[in-house]
Structure 1
Amino acid sequence: MTRIVIPLDDTTAQALEAYRQDHADRLERRIMQEALEAFLMKAGYLPQSKHTRPLPKSVGIARSGRSDLAEHDEELLWVEA
């Protein structure tokens, strides 16, 4: 991994510190990596398929077992279980 030093003006540094305090579980290093990756994806220099953030733990916990759920969601809402 390459290390890069980025000088920040006072306003940006204060905004970064406020964000970091609101998200205490996140490291400044990771915040900056994700921001740069998002910028480079938007500019077309990184593939859009690269996941920069892990999926929430709740993803996939309520699998219906149906591959056509989205196609039949309205009618399934009214079926008694």
Structure 2
Amino acid sequence: VEAAITPATKLLYMETPSNPTLGITDICAIVALAKQHQCLTFLDNTFMTPLHQRPLDLGVDVVIHSATKFLSGHSDIIAG
């Protein structure tokens, strides 16, 4: 990840676990790297939901959830 950062980089975007391969990203390591390069961190937390993973507690700046998928835990909420 660090090799991809340029002077124009403003944020690091993560999705963990990633879809569809369920790859895991070390959130704390990416947050530390972002701070080192004065970047923001965004994390798509759709798969884990706020119940299972709390990225804000790990220093992530912005957390994104797709409310049309797993937000309720069993796909019965449609939020657009």
**Into which bin does the TM-score normalised by the smaller protein fall?**
under 0.3
TM-score in terms of structure 2 length:
0.21
TM-score in terms of structure 1 length:
0.21
Larger Rg: 1
**Greater fraction of residues in strand:** 2
Task: Say which structure, 1 or 2, has more relative contact order (CA 8 Å, 6+ apart).
Answer: 2
